[in-house]
Amino acid sequence: MQNYISEKKDTTRSQELSTEFNFGNSKNVEKIPLNQHKKKKSSSIKVLFQNLNIQILFLNIIGIIFYKISFIGCHGGEENYCITEFVTQFIILGILLIISTLIVSITITLILWRKIYFYHLIYIIPIYYYYFYYYDQGETLERHGHINFIFFNVFLVLFLLIINYPFILFQLFKKQKYILFIILLSLLLIIPIYNSYVNYKSKCIKWEYGLNNERLLYLPNEKCSIYPPSRCELDFYFGKFNVSKIRINNYNQKKNAIKYLSKELKKSNHLGFPIIANKFLKNKFDNYEYNNFVSENMIDMESFIPNKGIDTPEMTIEFNNKGEGNLNINLIKNETLINERKNLENPNSLFKNLLIIYIDTASRIQFKRGLKKLFKFFESFMKKEEENKKKYSVYQFFKYHSLGPFTHINVQPMLYGSSMMSNKGIEFIKYYKENGFITGFSLCMCSPDVFNDKNTIYTKFTEKINYDHENNVLFCDPNFYDKEFGGTSYKGSNNFSKRILYNQQVNEIQIEYTRQFWYKYKDSRKVFKLAFMDGHEDTSETITFLDEPLTNFLNELYNNNLLNDTFIILVSDHGLHMPRIHKLLSNEQFTHDKNIPLLVILYNNENFNLENNEIENNQQKFITAYDIYETLIQIPFGESQFKNKLGISLFNYINESERSCSLYPEIKPSECRCIIK
Q: What is the 3-state secondary structure (H, E, C) of 360-400?
A: CCCEHHHHHHHCHHHHHHHHHHHHCCCCHHHHEEEEECCCE
Dist CA 552 CA 371 (whole Å): 12
**DSSP result, 268-312:** -SEEEPPP-TT---SSTT-HHHHHHHHHHT-EETTS--TTSSSPP
Contact 571, 357 (CB under 8 A): yes
Mind listing the pLDDT tens digit for each residue in 249-289? 788 899 989 988 998 999 999 999 998 876 655 555 567 77
pLDDT band at 148 (very low <50, low <70, confident <90, very high): confident
Length of the chain measured in residues: 677
Dist CA 297 CA 281 (whole Å): 13
User: What's the DSSP call for residue 651?
Assistant: T
Residue 45 located in a structural domain: no
* Total number of domains constituting the chain: 1
* pLDDT recorded at residue 238: 78
* pLDDT recorded at residue 672: 92
With a CB cutoff of 8 Å and minimum separation 6, the contacts of 311 are 274, 275, 278
Q: Is the dihedral of CA 349, 350, 354, 357 positive or negative?
A: negative
In this prediction, residues 104-119 reach a mean pLDDT of 70
CB neighbour class for 552 (10 Å; exposed up to 12, middle 13-18, buried from 19): middle
Dist CA 393 CA 610 (whole Å): 14
Nearest to 577 by CA among 464, 668, 475: 668
* pLDDT recorded at residue 474: 94
- Could you give the 3-state DSSP secondary structure of residue 597? strand
In this prediction, residues 203-229 reach a mean pLDDT of 86
* pLDDT recorded at residue 52: 67
Q: How much is the pTM? A: 0.81
Residue 435 located in a structural domain: yes
Dist CA 661 CA 668 (whole Å): 8
Residue 79 located in a structural domain: no
Question: Angle 34-38-44 (CA atoms, 0-180°, nearest 5)?
Answer: 50
Dist CA 597 CA 574 (whole Å): 5
In this prediction, residues 228-241 reach a mean pLDDT of 76
* pLDDT recorded at residue 452: 67
Q: How far is CA 363 from the centre of its chain?
A: 14
Higher-confidence residue of 105 and 50: namely 105
Dist CA 503 CA 249 (whole Å): 10
Mind listing the pLDDT tens digit for each residue in 459-502? 566 777 889 999 999 999 999 988 776 667 778 888 888 899 99
Q: How far is CA 168 from the centre of its chain?
A: 39
For the chain, what percent of residues have pLDDT higher than 70? 74
Residue 63 located in a structural domain: no
Q: How far is CA 100 from CA 58, 114, 141, 148, in A?
A: 12, 21, 21, 11
Q: Is residue 80 pLDDT above 80, yes or no? A: no
First to last CA, the chain: 98
* pLDDT recorded at residue 2: 47
Residue 600 located in a structural domain: yes
Residue 515 located in a structural domain: yes
User: What's the DSSP call for residue 110?
Assistant: H
* pLDDT recorded at residue 547: 97
Contact 382, 394 (CB under 8 A): yes
Mind listing the pLDDT tens digit for each residue in 157-183? 888 888 777 776 666 666 666 666 777
Given 3-state DSSP classes, what are the helix, strand and coil percentages for the chain, each rounded to the nearest 5? 45, 15, 45
Higher-confidence residue of 134 and 371: namely 371
Residue ranges making up the domain that contains 615: 243-676
* pLDDT recorded at residue 28: 45
* pLDDT recorded at residue 213: 92
Residue 617 located in a structural domain: yes
Residue 85 located in a structural domain: no
Contact 298, 265 (CB under 8 A): yes
* pLDDT recorded at residue 124: 63
Contact 640, 634 (CB under 8 A): yes
CATH number at residue 402: 3.40.720.10
- Highest mean predicted confidence (pLDDT) among 213-227, 288-302, 457-471, 620-634: 620-634
Provide φ and ψ at 278, rounded to 5°.
Answer: -110, 15
Question: Angle 517-521-524 (CA atoms, 0-180°, nearest 5)?
Answer: 140
Which H or E run contains 318?
strand 315-319
Q: How far is CA 68 from the centre of its chain?
A: 25
Mind listing the pLDDT tens digit for each residue in 296-317? 899 999 998 887 667 899 999 9
